[in-house]
Amino acid sequence: MNAPQTNVMRSRVVERLVQGQPTSDGAGVKLTRVLTQNLQRRLDPFLMLDAFRNENPEDYMGGFPDHPHRGFETVTYMLAGRMRHHDNTGNHGLLGPGGAQWMTAGSGLIHSELPEQEDGLMEGFQLWLNLPAKNKMIAPFYRDIPTEHIPEFSTEGGVTVRVIAGESHGVKGAVTRPDTEPLYLDVHLPAGGRFSQKLPVGHNAFLYTYRGEAIVGNEVGVEGGTGANGKAVPDRHMAILSNDEADGIAMAAIVPTRVILVAGRPLNEPIAQYGPFVMNTAEEIQQTLQDYRDGKFEAVKVQALEA
Ligand code: MN
């Protein structure tokens, strides 16, 4: 479907470029931690972004065996490869190319995320989105969203946009969430493509280039703009976008480019993280560790919602 170009009068600019840190997690899965703990305040309500892109099975085969979460949401978006997940109540699902899983850990669950392939490329992202204090202990649930259920549109200029969460150019995403009101877009720009997206003032926002090079800035992509003020966001870099009075973001590409664009309303609440648990206070983390030791996570019922 075609959607009209959204007019952004003034674009946010790149406040800072961040190159992720190579690390490994789970059972030896190599990944790039793009949004690290020291950026949680600046990018509130987002807590973490991992990018993984491994050709070599040795770098992903171990997957993420049984582990707990409490107090936030995990959003996994696959570009290539297949990942099977199981939770402590026996639910399971298969995440395939272009699909997403939106999991609200809430009061806590135990799950595994394991590759269901023995060769070939494994590529995607896992984003951690905080829950407001009032919802940290809600019952856990998840939704598997197969690729065909992720709304997609193309602009006249040939830009393709997949709307995982939030709304873009009048197209509602697969997921909408209260409180943090996340926007999560996968934007594919052809050579010479331009795209603009309205963003609420005060929402924290970033983009991550995973192919090509995005150019972000004041006049780029804006009707009649020259692109002269653009700042390049190279492959495998995150751009933290300025929080100012701008009404959105405008981007362009000289070469074929793909980015994810993520934004959300900050919670402005204290963040206490201990590994896979994210609460508001140290006392709540202590209680969480106690609950985990007492086996309370195993007893939890996890609801799987239809996509
Ligand atoms: Mn997990």
Let me know whether 186 and 108 are in one domain: yes
- Spatial separation of the C-alpha atoms in residues 259 and 289, rounded to whole Å: 37
Q: Is residue 4 part of a domain?
A: no
Let me know whether 234 and 281 are in one domain: no
For the stretch 124-150, pLDDT in tens is: 999 999 999 999 999 999 999 999 999
Q: Is residue 35 part of a domain?
A: yes
- Counting the structural domains of the chain, the total is 2
Q: How far is the CA of 105 from the centre of ligand 1 (A)?
A: 9
Q: Is residue 242 part of a domain?
A: yes
Q: Is residue 306 part of a domain?
A: no
Q: How far is the CA of 153 from the centre of ligand 1 (A)?
A: 30
Let me know whether 176 and 280 are in one domain: no
For the stretch 164-203, pLDDT in tens is: 999 999 999 999 999 999 999 999 999 999 999 999 999 9
Let me know whether 127 and 210 are in one domain: yes
Which residue range(s) make up the domain with 81? Answer: 14-264
Q: Is residue 1 part of a domain?
A: no
Q: What angle do CA 292, 288, 44 make, to 5 degrees?
A: 130
What is the pLDDT averaged over residues 80-89?
94
Q: Is residue 3 part of a domain?
A: no
Let me know whether 189 and 141 are in one domain: yes
Q: How far is the CA of 173 from the centre of ligand 1 (A)?
A: 23
Q: Is the pLDDT of residue 226 over 50?
A: no
Let me know whether 140 and 279 are in one domain: no
